[in-house]
Amino acid sequence: MSGPIETTVRSPRSMAWARRRHAFGAFCREFSRSRSGMVGLGFLVVIVVLALLAPVIAPAWMLDLTKLLDQPRFAPPSLDHPLGTDDQGRELWVRMIWGARVSLLVGFAATAVSMIIGTVVGIAAGHFTGWTGGLLMRIIDFFLVLPSLILAIVLSVVLSRGVWTIVIAIGLTSWAGTARVVRAQTLSVESRDYIERARVLGAGHWHIIVKHLLPAVLPLVLANTTLTVGSAIIAESTLSFLGLGDATLQSWGSVLKNSMDVSAATAGYWWYVLVPGIAIVLVVLAFTLVGRAVETIVNPTLRSR
């Protein structure tokens, strides 16, 4: 039960913000009821904190090969070396923590690019009827049809190698799915009465889009975002594995590529292959759980399940 009922007059804006805060609180309470969602979120928080604290927990000198000349190479996991060491003597847990930074950064950045493009194009495709809408729909369909990994490979080969190339490659190849969903939602919202009303009252495109469509679409986009981050992380590791990433950076994908290059699998250095892979699986799973929990809240038709 909330506090005493206020009787003072408030501006429309502060009322809107109060409503949003209330909705957000309801969302959080709803979310906390989903066990899988909370587990996923908790895990992600731990990983993000570890990644942010990387320079503190695992200072940069631990990755400087010239300082590690006395470290054992390919040491199996033990108390001295919690996750084992790699071919140049670096501690694997150090590489994993620093790798989390790059993998998560690439995941978030690529998703952001994808989401922004997807939302903008999706709303435009749903809102504008006739020629423009049809053309945008065609473009969305075209990008849906392109095999995303192959296109990402092409882009990575063509542009100079580096982290931002991967971000662009993943972003440019995965926005179409979001755009499709956003378009569908836009179409269903467009047919509602209050939009009709706003238009009759003289609202222009911009007003309708920003004030009505965007808020209606955003929860869905949010659900989609968390799911996309997971697949962006997998995409990054795949592109690194194929040799298209920035080899000088630590990322979980490049650690796996290193393990391939030094034939860790053949030689029996199982920790080198298993640890980064399991990390990817767990993080992606966590994002998926969170995403599905959010989706359940956002889409009421799914709620009764």
Which of positions 14-53 make contact with another protein (CB under 8 A)?
Answer: none
Query: Exactly one of 26, 28, 46, 144 binds another protein (CB under 8 A); which one?
Result: 144
Type of residue numbered 233: I
How far apart are the C-alpha atoms of 31 and 73, rounded to whole Å? 45
Q: Give the helix, strand, coil percentages of the chain, each rounded to 5.
A: 75, 0, 25
Q: Does 105 bind another protein (CB under 8 A)?
A: no
Q: Does 227 bind another protein (CB under 8 A)?
A: yes
User: Judged by CB under 8 A, which stretch of 10-18, 43-51, 91-99, 285-293 contacts another protein?
Assistant: 285-293
Q: Does 219 bind another protein (CB under 8 A)?
A: no
Query: Exactly one of 97, 136, 181, 290 binds another protein (CB under 8 A); which one?
Result: 181
Query: Exactly one of 34, 85, 228, 251 binds another protein (CB under 8 A); which one?
Result: 228
Q: Does 175 bind another protein (CB under 8 A)?
A: yes
Long-range contacts of 52-59 (CB under 8 A, 24+ apart): 52/101, 54/97, 54/98, 54/100, 54/101, 57/97, 58/91, 58/93, 58/94, 58/97, 58/98
Q: Number of residues in contact with another protein, rule: CB under 8 A?
A: 90
Give the x-and-dash track for 240-279 against another protein (CB under 8 A). Answer: -xxxx-xxx-------xxx-xxxxxxxxxx---xx--x--
Query: Exactly one of 157, 194, 197, 211 binds another protein (CB under 8 A); which one?
Result: 157
DSSP per residue, 64-115: -GGG-TTSPTTPPS-SSSTT-B-TTS-BHHHHHHHHHHHHHHHHHHHHHHHH
Q: Does 117 bind another protein (CB under 8 A)?
A: no
Greatest extent of the chain over all pairs of C-alpha atoms, in Å: 77
Beta bridge partners of residue 85, listed in sequence order: 91
Q: Which is nearer to another protein, 212 or 224 (CB)?
A: 224
